[in-house]
């Protein structure tokens, strides 16, 4: 199977070839024809499955079929975090490089004025976090009357982060006649409720079983006393020569503390969490991607949706509070079609809690 056999234009196929993609991933093979057909789509897909291209490529094609007449936006993509919004926008820009399509991304934590200027110039695709989008709307910087396609990316996390009210407000402002695409790693009852009100006879796309991890990820557990975890992590990083490892902690404070201890052990590390400024988060991620920082320590919310290519190693320094987060965390390892390793350092107390949760 090839991207062109799915019905994508030569410009889009060329853009995927530039990225070195040879064949569509399973989610792409299913989602691309569904989106091209104009129907609503409800997709169960985690980060790492190629889901972003799965909705971006066909929606760009649909836009190209009718040129823009007004100021737009014609496509609205909502994402839960700044990082994810920025990554989705990078994909939009990358895949539309041979097309006249204009796009922008807006998120909170940075100045609003430059975003207003961008919107004033007119655009086809707008990627946004819900809170900032509502701020912009309230300041008359954006209108929704030309929106033809709405994408909710990582909808489960948007609900977890308390965006449901903003999302509902935005939905109420959109033209009734539009195409809706909903992507979520998990399908809780709350998501199903949202989907019911939003989607009209959707095509359902599912690649991995509900709430299970991608098969290409090797998972292991290391039983260890809480007090020995930092020393063990330092040793594992050194002994295994891990050059790029993403480590999860449960709290922001824990992330800072672990980062400091690793640095003291001579291992370059940076923390990424909600209390860090946008600049600090972007810098930490860039340093990590470039190999200047060996260990990136993250909380669940900050790490959600991070697209770090070919990340071989993820460590759960502490287990998350809920099983869904475990699935999201280990989804950071490997990329479409490649395997990775997720290691959990588990104390006796944590093991007890998880057994209770399972029972
Ligand atoms: P996503 O699940 O959208 O976050 O994508 C995960 C990663 O897979 C990204 O780094 C993409 O660049 C990459 N990717 C997406 N589609 C393909 C494909 N068809 N073949 C190989 N890699 C891909």
Alpha carbon of 49 to ligand 1 centroid (Å): 6
Average pLDDT (73-100) is: 96
Neighbours of 155 (CB within 10 A): 30
Ligand 1 and 24: CB distance under 6 A: yes
In this structure, the residue with its CA closest to atom 5 of ligand 1 is 50
Mean pLDDT taken over the chain: 89
Show the 3-state SS of 93-124: HHHCCCCCCCEEEECCCCCCHHHHHHHHCCCC
**Binding site membership of 157 for ligand 1 (Cβ less than 6 Å):** no
Torsion of CA 84, 147, 60, 131, to 10 degrees: -10
Q: Decide whether any atom of ligand 1 lies within 6 Å of the 50 Cβ.
A: yes
Q: Measure 232 CA to ligand 1 centroid, in angstroms.
A: 32
Q: Is 56 in the pocket of ligand 1 (CB under 6 A)?
A: no
Q: Bigger pLDDT: 288 or 77? A: 77
Task: Kindly tell me if the per-residue pLDDT of 83 is higher than 70.
Answer: yes
* Residue 155 near ligand 1, beta carbon < 6 Å: no
**CA-to-CA separations, 266 to 8, 179, 269, 323, 358, in angstroms, rounded:** 49, 52, 9, 33, 38
Q: Phi and psi (nearest 5°) for 197?
A: -75, -20
21 lines ligand 1 (CB under 6 A): yes
Instruction: Tell me the pLDDT tens digit for each residue of 226-251.
Output: 999 999 999 999 999 998 899 999 99
Residue 278 pLDDT class (50, 70, 90 cuts): confident
What are the strands of the beta sheet with 217-223, ordered from one edge?
Answer: 217-223, 340-346, 313-316, 245-248, 295-298, 269-272
Instruction: Give distance in angstroms: CA of 67 to centre of ligand 1.
Output: 28
Give the relative orientation of helices 113-120 and 130-138 as an angle to the nearest 10 degrees: 70
Mutate to test the pocket of ligand 1, among 8, 53, 88, 184 (most ligand atoms within 8 A of CB): 53
User: Looking at the whole model, is its pTM more than 0.75?
Assistant: no
Looking at the DSSP assignment, which residues form a beta bridge with residue 104? 126
- Confidence (pLDDT) at 338: 58
Tell me which of 198-202, 294-298, 299-303, 339-343 is least confident: 299-303
Backbone φ, ψ for residue 104 (5° rounding): -155, 160
Q: Which atom of ligand 1 is nearest to the CA of 25?
A: 19
Please indicate whether residue 53, judged by its CB atom, sits closer than 6 Å to ligand 1: yes
Q: How confident is the model at residue 305 (pLDDT cuts 50, 70, 90)?
A: low
Index of the ligand 1 atom closest to the CA of residue 336: 8
Q: How far apart, in whole angstroms, are the C-alpha atoms of residue 263 and residue 270? A: 9
């Amino acid at each position: 199977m090839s991207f062109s056999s799915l019905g994508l234009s030569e410009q889009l196929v060329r853009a995927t070839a530039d990225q070195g993609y040879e064949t569509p991933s399973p989610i792409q093979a299913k989602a691309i024809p569904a989106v091209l057909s104009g129907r609503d789509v409800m997709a169960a897909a985690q980060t790492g499955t190629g889901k972003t291209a799965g909705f971006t490529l066909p929606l760009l094609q649909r836009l190209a079929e009718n040129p823009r007449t007004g100021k737009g936006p014609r496509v609205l993509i909502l994402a839960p975090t700044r990082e994810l919004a920025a990554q989705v926008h990078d994909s939009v820009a990358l895949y539309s490089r041979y097309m006249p399509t204009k796009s922008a991304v807006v998120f909170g934590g940075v100045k609003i004025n430059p975003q207003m200027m961008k919107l004033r110039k007119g655009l086809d695709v707008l990627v946004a976090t819900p809170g900032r989008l509502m701020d912009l709307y309230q300041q008359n910087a954006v209108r929704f009357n030309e929106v033809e396609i709405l994408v909710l990316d990582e909808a489960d996390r948007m609900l977890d982060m308390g965006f449901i009210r903003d999302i509902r407000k935005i939905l109420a402002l959109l033209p009734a006649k539009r195409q809706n695409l909903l992507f979520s790693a998990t399908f809780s009852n709350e998501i199903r409720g949202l989907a019911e009100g939003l989607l009209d006879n959707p095509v359902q796309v599912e690649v991995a079983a509900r709430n299970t991890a991608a098969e290409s990820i090797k998972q292991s557990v290391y039983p260890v006393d809480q007090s020995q975890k930092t020393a063990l992590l330092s040793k594992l990083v050194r002994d295994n020569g891990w050059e790029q490892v993403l480590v999860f902690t449960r709290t922001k404070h824990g992330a800072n503390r672990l980062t400091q201890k690793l640095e003291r052990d001579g291992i370059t590390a940076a923390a990424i969490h909600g209390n860090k400024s946008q600049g600090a988060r972007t810098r930490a991620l860039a340093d990590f991607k470039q190999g200047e920082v060996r260990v990136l320590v993250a909380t669940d919310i900050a790490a959600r949706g991070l697209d770090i290519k070919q990340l071989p190693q993820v460590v759960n320094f502490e287990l998350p509070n809920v099983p869904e987060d475990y699935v999201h965390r280990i989804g950071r390892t490997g990329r479409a079609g490649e395997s990775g390793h997720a290691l959990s350092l588990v104390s006796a107390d944590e093991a007890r809690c998880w057994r209770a949760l399972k029972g």
